[in-house]
Copies of this chain bind each other. A is one copy, B any other.
Amino acid sequence: MINKNTRFLIIGLGLMGGSYAMGLSKKGYHVDAIDLNELSIQYAKEHGIIQNGATFDIQLIKNADIIISGLYPEAMIHWYSTYQKYFKPHTFLTDVSGIKCNVVNQVQSILRDDIEFCASHPMAGKEVSGVTYADHTIFKDANFIITPTKSNTSQAVDTLTQFANILEFKNISILSCEEHDKMIGFVSQLTHAIAVSLMNTSDNPNLVKYTGDSFRDLTRIAKINENLWSELFFLNKDNLIPEIDSFIYQIQKLKNMLETNNKDGLKELFIQSTIRRKRFDQ
């Protein structure tokens, strides 16, 4: 479990890694960080986000009790694989990856026997990146999802639950990797695919003059980090592709109501979406 002697090490001081570091430091925990960017380390030290940091430092790795990867999935797998030889016995690992099955299976299969990796997903963010935007308050209304596999211990789940409570996440859930990735394929990845596609549907630069809140809301997430999201999309394409198909089926059904002058059918679609959306306002 986490206590005041626990030494956290964040790998990758981006928006999420930085926000984790900030939240933990504000609660009085010891947080170090490794990031390839010297400026990120300097910034984080100067702003009290971390205590120690370096672009690389074996001693920081050796001192860590809990290592949190803020890296993109493929970079994380590479990093854990390369540097696990320096981990102290029984170091606990977690991550922030937006998809789980493909990542978790790979990490768990390469790790030393005395090291436990239990994956988790903070469902929070902003359309910006980098430690200068770090903000631990993004967790206050957010879900924290723990995705243990059969090789994880109940202590790992307890530790992550404690971790999420320290950072004041609103909800903590436990899902299997498969449940997580299916859910994410719908609520996160499909929504991003839609926003990107809507934004790409028109190249009229004058639209900005006439858009109301609706178009702005639907395209906010079309401003997207292409490296991170292409990685996430491909790692979860087996879930995402069927969700795209289901959505296309629905919008074609709506189009069909227009083409066949089926007013009652169109109203039924509106009534259904209204009933379903109201659940989200409760």
Contact = CB atoms under 8 A, between A and B. Distances in A.
A78 interface: no
A171 interface: yes
A24 B274 CA distance: 32
Given A224-B273, A267-B230, A278-B223, A246 B210 contact: no
A215 B185 CA distance: 11
Given A187-B214, A244-B255, 20 more contacts: A125-B212, A145-B210, A187-B215, A191-B218, A192-B214, A195-B218, A197-B273, A198-B247, A198-B250, A200-B272, A217-B217, A217-B221, A219-B277, A226-B267, A230-B266, A240-B258, A241-B259, A245-B255, A248-B248, A248-B251
A28 to B, nearest CB: 28
Contacts of A192: 214
A183 B210 contact: yes
The size class of the interface chain A forms with chain B is: 35 or more
A173 interface: yes
- Looking at A145, A241, A276, the one whose CB has the most chain B CB atoms below 10 A away is A276
Contact of A212 (B124, B209, B226, B269): B124
